[in-house]
Amino acid sequence: MRTMKNFYPLVLIRDIFTNRKLLWQLTKRDFKERYLGSYLGILWAFIQPAVTVLIFWFVFQVGFKSVPVNNFPFILWLVCGMFPWFFLSESIQSAANSVIESSFLVKKIVFRVELLPIVKIISALVVHIFFVVVLFSMFAIYGHLPTIYTLQIIYYVFAMICLTLGLSWLTSSLTVFFRDVRQLVAMILQFGFWGTPIFWNLKMIPEQFQFILKLNPAYYVVEGYRQSFIYHEWFWEHFYLTAYFWAFTLVTMFIGAWCFKKLRPHFADVL
């Protein structure tokens, strides 16, 4: 009978803690390799998202004359949705290629391959923490100082990590055998960006159709950031949405871990 000590998800958590120094070294290596040869180096990791926000702000604030949302400047409402999306998009898309990019670790070294997608998530998390600091600064500049509700950001970051971890295990293991998965992930993320109320308000959609968009797990996180900074609502006040998100996330983590475990023995043969 399987004991809790050998329960696969718990084994992975234990390995993450045991290999934390190695994970950090691989994360630094990932940053260096990604921007190797460019004059600005890892600054591009911060410049590209910032430019994207400025473009959307210019188009909707200056071009379309967007009005304040719930008495908050549009730019503040916008970045509350954009910054968590950047983390979700970057971590999921880059983690899908994590096993292929580090094939030498799969072939030649005794290594917990399950940790490779986590390296990509940590890389995206480092950039996200920087933008969370920017988010606090922007709100402070506009006269909105942190409140006790903003402590929920820690919870929502943890929620994003769990969601992306499950999706990363699934996509990275499938990508080894089906390279088209990378294009499929990119397409789904593009659809998800426009299908998530990041720069448009959910109230623009007829009420009878709003529940469809709420099935998107990214909606929970994006709205969570706005609840923390703008609406001042606790996540447990939205019980059903929270229950759905964690049910979806835990199922995704279980499927992702199971799929990775089953396919892992065949990675070296394909790579």
Residue-wise pLDDT tens digits, 118-171: 888 988 898 899 889 888 988 888 888 888 999 999 999 999 999 999 999 999
Instruction: Please tell me the distance from the alpha carbon of residue 188 to that of residue 201, in angstroms, as a whole number.
Output: 21
Q: Which of 14-18, 101-105, 219-223, 267-271 has the highest mean pLDDT?
A: 219-223
Q: For 17-36, what is each residue's pLDDT tens digit? A: 777 787 888 887 777 777 65
CA distance 191 to 85: 12
d(CA 237, CA 247): 17
Distance separating alpha carbons of residues 34 and 123, to the nearest angstrom:
11
Residue 247: count of CB within 10 angstroms of its CB: 10
Choose from 52-56, 109-113, 250-254 the range with maximum mean pLDDT.
Answer: 250-254
d(CA 267, CA 169): 13
The confidence score (pLDDT) of residue 45 equals 65
Mean pLDDT of 218-234: 92
Using DSSP, state whether 70 is helix, strand or coil.
coil
Which tops the pLDDT comparison, 29 or 191? 191
Residue 227 backbone dihedrals phi, psi, to 5 degrees: -65, -35
At residue 37, what are phi and psi to the nearest 5 degrees?
95, -15
Task: Assign 85 a pLDDT band (cuts: 50, 70, 90).
Answer: very high
Measuring CA to CA, which residue among 214, 105, 122, 203 is closest to residue 168? Answer: 122
* Nearest to 125, CA basis, from 164, 98, 151: 164
Instruction: Calculate Rg over the CA atoms of the chain.
Output: 20
Task: Quote the pLDDT of residue 251.
Answer: 93
